[in-house]
Amino acid sequence: MGEIRLHGRGGQGTVIAAEMLANAFVLGGKYASVFPSFGVERRGSAVMAFARYGEEPIRERTRVYRPDILLMLDQSLTENRTHYDGFKAGGTIVANTKHPEAIEDLKLNQQILATVDGVSIALEETGTAITNTCMLGAFAKATGLVRLDDLKEALTLYFQGKILSKNIRSLERGFAEVHVARFTPEKVAAREEGPHDAPVGIKPPVITTPYAAAWDDANKKLLTVHTGDWRYRRPELDKAPCRLCGWCSVYCPVGCMKAGEDGYYHPDLNYCKGCGVCANMCPAHAIKMTAEEVI
């Protein structure tokens, strides 16, 4: 039995990606199970989903603590080591990033590292930064565990019409454009015991994880959460048409548009989530949303 953990943010289709992947496994003649892990997080906060696949019926219903494969849908999560907790040596990482060297620097002892610029593909093909179908294509190419045709059929269970066509193109481009690097891991670990593998009568190990809501900073005396890393677009001001009316500040849902020394309103990028409300409400059309570059 293989175990997969998916990491993304609310609104990126992480859970649907896991469901489509499980359906593709079933269409290919395997058994699969899938379930998500999220609570009351807002759109944009970190979420996980778990999938298992195998040749025999799957009875395990716990979350995946020690994944063989990590599928990282959000580029801002890829350089945070905590999201790789439990990753098995010799496993596979499929990541949405333009900077594979940053993952290599984490020394995760992977055998395969597959990377693709999922955001650019998703924006070009679907007009949104929802990378799930693109990353499923990358997963198929990197692992060889599911066929592209089975994934296409799985997509028909969730999309139709023009939306289906756009997502199939995104899937195909993820498959075609992913860069797959292979490594020789120092030690390929055997299957480690999970929390339910301990013999009867022996207390299972305590599992601790950092995967909680964005507001887990409450444990640190209610420090403010810097939500700027949720952003995939940022507002940029063209001063020429700007009327200095301040409507962008009035409508900003998190109050991060502030008047600067130049008299114009600028976003505090520590907190701006790139929702685009300021651009939509600007009467002079002086604010444009541009794609965020991850450094």
Phi, psi of 114, rounded to the nearest 5 degrees: -110, 125
- Interacting residues of 169 by C-beta distance below 8 A, sequence separation 6+: 125
Strands 265-267 and 257-259: antiparallel
pTM (2 decimals)? 0.65
Dihedral angle at the C-alpha atoms of 279, 280, 285, 290, nearest 10 degrees? 40
Residues in the chain, total:
295
Contact 236, 252 (CB under 8 A): no
Distance, CA of 8 to CA of 91 (rounded, Å): 19
Name the region of 252 (left: φ>0; alpha: ψ -120 to 50; beta: rest): beta
The domains of the chain, with CATH numbers, are 2-182 (3.40.920.10), 227-291 (3.30.70.20)
Q: For each of the chain's 295 residues, which pLDDT tens digit applies?
A: 899 999 988 878 888 999 999 999 999 999 999 988 765 455 667 888 999 999 988 877 778 989 999 999 988 888 888 889 999 989 999 999 999 998 988 889 899 999 999 999 999 999 988 999 999 999 999 999 999 999 999 999 999 999 999 999 999 999 999 999 998 877 544 444 444 343 444 444 444 444 444 444 444 444 456 777 778 889 999 999 999 988 898 888 888 898 999 999 999 988 898 899 999 889 889 999 998 875 4
Residue 6: the pLDDT is 94
Q: How far apart are the first and last CA of the chain?
A: 36
Residue 215: the pLDDT is 40
